[in-house]
Structure 1
Amino acid sequence: MTTKEEYEYTPVAGTEESETTFNVTNGEVTIQSNKMTSESAEPTNRKFLVTLDTMFDQVYFSALSGNLLSFVTGTAIAWSSPTLPKLNDTDVGNIPFGRRIDSDENSWIGSLMPLGAIFGPFLFGFLADKLGRKVTLMSLAVPYIVSFLTLAFAEVVGLFYFARVLTGLAVGGVFTVFPMYIGEIAEDKNRGTLGSVMNIFITSGLLFSYCVGPYVSIMAFNIILAVIPCVYLVLFFLLAPESPHYHVSRDNHEAASKSLEKIRAPGTKTDAELADIKLSIEKSKEGSIGDLFASRGLVKALTISVLLVVLQQLSGINVVLFYAQPIFQASGSSLDSEVASIIIGVVQFLTSFVTPMLVERLGRKILLYFSAIGMLIAEVPLGLYFYMLNNGDDVEAISWLPVVSLMVYIITYNCGFGPLPWAMMGELFPANVKSVASSLTATCCWVIGFLITKFFTSIADAMGMGPLFWLFAGFCGVAFFFTLVFVIETKGKNLQEIQDILES
């Protein structure tokens, strides 16, 4: 990497003739002045080098390469939407088991991913503290590869169960460790943006599953999915450094300094930032779950973090993502369920760009308000449609309503309650308890996610799809008032300032 000193020189009195040559070779620009006269210097032949690493901030490359894992996570979350209809197909020749699955097997295959995700946060959160953020994030590719290959070649339902639990372990780990990593490598000015970009990659993964899954065999679909984490492993290994916070926590200050220099713009003075990291970590010892309840500020941080992700799940998002095709099939819409799912995926992907653009301008709370109200407005008419359908009313004139309602739901979800709970989780906790707090938060999220996806079909059969969506809408209202009363604004604040606000 070119150092700052190579660009600096001391001006002297004299004249410089304009005969200058420019040469571009291998990505370097050489500016060579052939004739120079001065009162105190001999003719010189000075070169100025401008390379790619002086033109781009490395932190963005690190975040983007790591977000390939978020893309894989998105494909895994949406996996059941195109796969479950295939396993329920009347043409058993396309089913690897040689028969259709029953309703109980259907619910287990759909819900075992969030069940595995309950345990992933503690396993990979522990590894993040012991082995480092980078090594742990790389290890998360392994369960994805194994699970997708298992799903590609399995011929018994039990192996599908195993693979989905293994997938869940990885998903839970990603939602725990990756926001932690981003929160530690980002600067105050871009932490919200980089944290929100995770949602863009997750939604692109969802869209990929919606677009590819319905149109290829189960085997081909899973083999394709297995290739992507292999690509991630190579890119993340080459482009991403270890978190400077982790190096400081292990008293490796030299490595921490090198890590900071790599992820900051060339010429940036990192001494003050490194001192802040040291101070933050030195003020606290390595924490445990008990330490989360040792101070008012940490209790408040945990409350905010846990309830944001719990309310995210209670808005019904995993029902929409996991069962998109079955929901459209149940709606009786004239639009093919596969096409409707793709439309929802496209909308989700496009709107995932909104939060990174607005989060540092408007702040977290404004976007969370908008998101909660928007989801509520979307789910009330959706519930009404299903209520009328179940009562035998003629809904042909409003057959478009499920697609429009879910589009509004996805748009407003992506503007706030999709990305921001995870981004804020990486901001609210000091370094000594960040791993255990992130693990506990993600576990609570996936416990609720498992319960909702496992019993969605049973509850919908018992109370009807309409009242169920009204229930989800009610929780969106709760989310609005919780944000209004309890959530703090973290826009533009460094991690120590956030802790001071929580303690006040």
Structure 2
Amino acid sequence: MTYVKSDISIMKFDSFNGNIISFSAGTAITWASPEIEKLKNSTMAVSDGQGSWINSLFLLGASFGPFLFGYLADKIGRKKTLVSMGCPMAMGFVVMALVKVVQVFYAARFVIGLAVGGLFTVMPMYIGEIADSSNRGTLSGILNILLCMGMLFSYCVGPYVDILIFNLILGVIPAIFMPLFSLFSVESPRYLIGKNEIDEAKKNLRWLKGKGDDVNTEIAAIETAISEEGNGGIGDLFKSSGNVRALIIASGLIFFQQFSGINAVLSNAQNIFKQAKTPLDASVCSMLVGAVQLISSGLSMVLIDRLGRKLLLLGSGLGVVLSEVPLGVYSVLRDRDIDVGSISFLPIISLVIFILTYNVGLGSLPWTVMGELYPSNIKSIGSSVTASFCWMLGFLIVYFFNSLIERFGLGTCFFIFSACSACSVLFVQFYCIETKGKTLEEIQKELNA
């Protein structure tokens, strides 16, 4: 059940407030791009292999986080679970600021990854349950905007600030988030009804809708929907054709998101630009990529509830193909010692187009769609499985990316990524459903048709 006549200004505040933690997640995702090189040149003298582990263990931690925090979301609530994510993030950054031991960096990055993986499970769930069908996509887009702001922050500040100071700054942000979200945001009414806390659910729903609105009709409808769905477990993912289709769509979109090469690009942005020998400094190019990512995230939020999910995903897949193929060609020519000086600007243009088109669709929409597809009784476990799949793929891609470059060349990697993105267009066109403007119940009927 979704809510009608909701107060969008209140929801935006609630969503923005909660997504401060998304800013921290963004800083963690691109943290490695400026910091690994500094660690290699510091007294720690981190090797290439150790740098790869520091980078990729974050993603490995993120693959386990969805199960931990997804479980907590059902046991203690969405709000308390989101608040709890601030602790491992803050502690991880502070530890990396103060302790200069490689193994400690391994552990800290893994722990931060746990929280980030949990965030991508619980936050879409939370937003999907407090939003109505007309603005669900817009509110989900706030997650991506704050995430991109965090990524840009790491790109802009990381290269020019000492490792200690930089990590302390990053540790302060989740520490601020915890009391702020705890004091000024509400628990999901749907979760409270599932726990039979009806009075508290009514109070929160009135706050979200506006105090003068009657909420009894919506409360009754949510109670009916939850009663009909019952309690679900992991086996319920495969008990109906609708649930199986939801799992395939959500996991398929995540697969194509990761095999667009995004994590490899974001984690290795400076190295990619160095290898491509672009005319601009590599750190400046990384900032440019981060800025474009932030701008495009705002564009996605504006368009998602107007054009729909499928159209944006189709355009995004085509855009990624058209941006990565020229980048692959450029890299192959350079590796074969063919003079590419006259087109040295091409990697910058290609990656800017890649980030722009990726972020409008493949970057944010899989998470929005994931929060819409699963019924309430398996929303937590379904979201956890999908998010874990995402981060495990990211871990494998990032960990083996440099080895693949050494063996096959950067150009071949981009050709593989572009081929996967071309397949995403076919998948979206012929298998995915449109969820724009539909209630959660309408989506379930279409999946089970």
Same fold, judged at TM 0.5 (above) = yes
Distance in 1 (CA, whole Å) between partners of 2:266 and 2:212 is 45
Secondary structure class of the residue paired with 2:357: helix
Q: Following TM superposition, where does structure 1 have runs of at least 4 consecutive aligned residues deviating by more than 6 angstroms?
A: none
Amino acid at match of 1:155: K
Deviations 1:253-305 (A, max 9, x none): 11111111111134233222222211211112221110010000000001101
Distance in 1 (CA, whole Å) between partners of 2:8 and 2:72 is 31
How many corresponding residue pairs?
A: 444
The residue number in structure 1 matching 2:169 is 224
Match of 2:185 among 240, 244, 263: 240
The 5 A counterparts of 1:256-271 are 256-271=201-216
**In the alignment, does 2:239 pair up with 1:305?**
no
Asked if the contact 2:7/2:209 (under 8 Å) is kept, the reply is: no
Asked if the contact 1:347/1:410 (under 8 Å) is kept, the reply is: yes
Amino acid at match of 2:33: S
The residue number in structure 2 matching 1:254 is 199
Amino acid at match of 1:75: T
TM-score (norm 2): 0.97
**In the alignment, does 2:423 pair up with 1:478?**
yes
Amino acid at match of 1:306: S
Please list every run of 5 or more consecutive structure 1 residues that lacks an aligned counterpart in the other structure.
Answer: 1-53, 90-94
Distance in 2 (CA, whole Å) between partners of 1:428 and 1:275 is 22
Match of 2:66 among 96, 109, 121: 121
TM-score (norm 1): 0.87
The 5 A counterparts of 1:74-473 are 74-89=26-41, 95=42, 98-473=43-418
Amino acid at match of 2:302: M
**In the alignment, does 2:11 pair up with 1:59?**
yes
Deviations 1:133-163 (A, max 9, x none): 0000000000001100011012110000000
Distance in 2 (CA, whole Å) between partners of 1:451 and 1:330 is 22
Secondary structure class of the residue paired with 1:353: helix
Rg bigger for which structure? 1
Larger helix proportion, structure 1 or 2? 2
Asked if the contact 1:280/1:430 (under 8 Å) is kept, the reply is: no
Distance in 2 (CA, whole Å) between partners of 1:358 and 1:262 is 27
Asked if the contact 1:112/1:450 (under 8 Å) is kept, the reply is: yes
Amino acid at match of 1:63: S
Secondary structure class of the residue paired with 1:393: coil
Deviations 1:424-447 (A, max 9, x none): 111001111000000000010011
Asked if the contact 1:183/1:191 (under 8 Å) is kept, the reply is: yes
Distance in 1 (CA, whole Å) between partners of 2:88 and 2:391 is 18
**More RCO (CA 8 Å, sep 6+):** 2
Distance in 2 (CA, whole Å) between partners of 1:248 and 1:494 is 18
Asked if the contact 1:85/1:326 (under 8 Å) is kept, the reply is: no
Amino acid at match of 1:165: F
Secondary structure class of the residue paired with 1:57: helix
Asked if the contact 2:263/2:398 (under 8 Å) is kept, the reply is: yes
Asked if the contact 2:44/2:101 (under 8 Å) is kept, the reply is: no
Distance in 1 (CA, whole Å) between partners of 2:8 and 2:211 is 9
Distance in 1 (CA, whole Å) between partners of 2:8 and 2:31 is 35
Deviations 1:184-216 (A, max 9, x none): 000111101111221111000000000100000
Please list every run of 5 or more consecutive structure 2 residues that lacks an aligned counterpart in the other structure.
Answer: 1-5
Distance in 1 (CA, whole Å) between partners of 2:77 and 2:412 is 46
Distance in 2 (CA, whole Å) between partners of 1:381 and 1:268 is 55
Amino acid at match of 1:68: I
Asked if the contact 2:270/2:282 (under 8 Å) is kept, the reply is: yes
Distance in 2 (CA, whole Å) between partners of 1:448 and 1:270 is 42
Percent identity, aligned pairs only, is 47
- Deviation at residue 356 of structure 1 after TM alignment: 1.2
Distance in 2 (CA, whole Å) between partners of 1:56 and 1:108 is 43
Asked if the contact 1:149/1:222 (under 8 Å) is kept, the reply is: yes
Distance in 2 (CA, whole Å) between partners of 1:433 and 1:474 is 33
